[in-house]
Chain A
């Protein structure tokens, strides 16, 4: 499954471009608008997963409150582009503004956690993930409380309103994912990316390499949050409303599960993982009854949705713990426990070959 990474760079770029061309051309072929509605929503989760991958996959900082930044991005759009305060900042600059606001909160919420690692960090971020939606819920005066904020501005492109069609949102999210992928790859193969991974592997040794752990971790929180700020901006504008219950703990867990499922740290893996889990969670399970009926099975899944979802997650962790498309280190890490010298030698040979090629 490590096919993509072992191909020459031009071939890899070719594959990415082919996939991109296919996705761009899709609306010309497929006339069913509801498909693009789903794809655009799935895209929001891809963007979220790419962002969380920077924090958890690259820098190794387990963040259980990632939905907080998604909420902040969404509310940023809702407050700055709606009748709420009679501010109507256009959608395009808002993409940048929302991601900057989210990144700022990434720094603010990251700062108190710098000395924490592993379990402790997870618990504190969990707390932040709860505080942020609660704050939006209780700041009635500014956020509309439990009702949220509605009739957000509909984005427009050179004077053409997005209207009620999902296709413009589909293109926006596609473009954002493209940019997000490019930046994630850039970061991975850079001074900063190596510093993140060094901190993930051994923070003390990283400091001895002259790496400033404080700024490096904060950069991870800020970059991770900026992705979800953009995702939130698209999410809010597409839904035309925001409310605190869209950003529950379950959203943070879902995005984290997407990473784990796809292969933590591996960018194509994260994309595939988020698409698969989105399909299971938002398409397959809600329609399980219809699917069963079409197969002439008389089963009622209504009450078993989360049970099935849980079984799928547990099975994947049992049978493919490194994720669908694991990164090299996740594979090695999880295999490290298995004392299988033959396998180790085989892997070693494979790595050597890749290195030489």
Chain B
């Protein structure tokens, strides 16, 4: 079943075409990746999906409903969570507060609940805290609970961003270069973590430069170059596709 479907999506910035006529489908329960040289338009695709940009042309469907034109927070509430290429944690909030903030769209507390701390608010707050603790344990940050996000190590910050994204119980998780700046050991941890997330029933769509990681975990890979899809298929297929080699290494003389 198609969870996410982009149909003929283009995004222009002034005269510059960042994404051109991209049609793309993510099947539920899979791990898929989008790769491509710098400036190929990968992050723009994420920004169109999460509503940072409205597509210039084309439509985005999620779970059978159109989401293009919705606001970012509405799209998040529908079940799409993401991490960022440059980590964007709430730096001066504790790890657990970061994760609890991630649960925002799943919470029901209204303004007066927040103001008066009603019994319903107490109950929900306790549940949210418990789930946040469980998520920190899931990503391996149980001991960092009360530390400020900015005081965590780089690898831990990446993990915390993932925990925060998972807190909204998304159907689709967008990971924007999750392995950037990680050492080989951290990458192995990450691969294992991504698989465990998929096993929770979350579909994963990642953008990544690290070929080892992408080839290792992705079921399908899409290659973007100059905003256009130039190849799509299994890792083995993409690896041997001449157009891909050309895009990365240039035309043979």
Contacts and interface: CB of A to CB of B under 8 A. Distances in A.
Interface of A: 183, 186-187, 189-195, 197-198, 201-202, 204-213, 219, 223, 328-329, 332-333, 336, 344, 348, 351-352, 354-356
A193 B104 contact: no
Interface stretch (B69-77, B180-188, B198-206): B69-77
Interface in B51-108: 52, 71-73, 76-77, 81-82, 84, 88-94, 97, 100-102, 104-107
A191 B125 CA distance: 8
Interface of A is mostly: helix
A209 B145 contact: no
Nearest to A183: B115
A314 to B, nearest CB: 25
Q: Name the residue among A187, A208, A328, A355 with the largest chain B CB count within 10 angstroms.
A: A208
Interface of B: 50, 52, 71-73, 76-77, 81-82, 84, 88-94, 97, 100-102, 104-107, 109, 111, 113-117, 121, 124-125, 145-148, 150-151, 164, 168
Considering residues B91, B92, B94, B146, which has the most beta carbons from chain A within 10 angstroms of its beta carbon?
Answer: B92
A332 B105 contact: no
Contact of B101 (A186, A198, A212, A344): A198
Contacts of B117: 186, 189-190
A207 B115 contact: no
Contacts of A336: 150
Contacts of B88: 202, 204-205
Contacts of B105: 209-211
A58 to B, nearest CB: 12
Contacts of B106: 210
Given A183-B115, A332-B150, A209 B92 contact: no
Nearest to A192: B114
A350 to B, nearest CB: 10
Contacts of A206: 90, 101
Contacts of A348: 147, 151
Given A202-B90, A209-B164, A354-B146, A191 B109 contact: yes
Contact of A208 (B81, B107, B114): B81
A212 B73 CA distance: 6
Contacts, number: 123
A39 to B, nearest CB: 27
Nearest to A188: B114
B47 to A, nearest CB: 10
Nearest to B164: A209
Nearest to A191: B109
A187 B111 CA distance: 9
A198 B121 CA distance: 19
Contacts of B107: 191
Contacts of B92: 201, 328-329, 332-333
A185 to B, nearest CB: 9
Nearest to A197: B93
A205 B90 contact: yes
Nearest to A186: B117
B90 A351 contact: no
Contacts of A186: 114-117
B101 A209 contact: yes
B93 A201 contact: yes
A213 B73 CA distance: 8
Contacts of B89: 201-202, 205
B84 A205 contact: yes
A352 B84 CA distance: 27
A329 B107 CA distance: 25
Contacts of B90: 197-198, 201-202, 205-206
Given A205-B88, A209-B164, A352-B146, 13 more contacts: A190-B117, A195-B101, A195-B104, A197-B97, A204-B72, A204-B88, A207-B76, A208-B73, A208-B76, A211-B105, A332-B92, A332-B151, A333-B92
A135 to B, nearest CB: 29
B146 A207 contact: no
A70 to B, nearest CB: 21
Contact of A194 (B50, B73, B104, B168): B104
17 contacts: A189-B117, A190-B109, A190-B117, A191-B107, A191-B114, A192-B111, A192-B114, A194-B100, A198-B90, A201-B93, A208-B50, A208-B73, A211-B73, A223-B115, A351-B146, A352-B146, A355-B145
A193 B125 CA distance: 12
A333 B73 CA distance: 27
B218 to A, nearest CB: 23
A332 B146 contact: no
Contacts of B125: 189-191
A37 to B, nearest CB: 32
The interface centre, meaning the residue of A204, A209, A328, A355 with most chain B CB atoms within 10 A of its CB, is A209
A333 B136 CA distance: 24
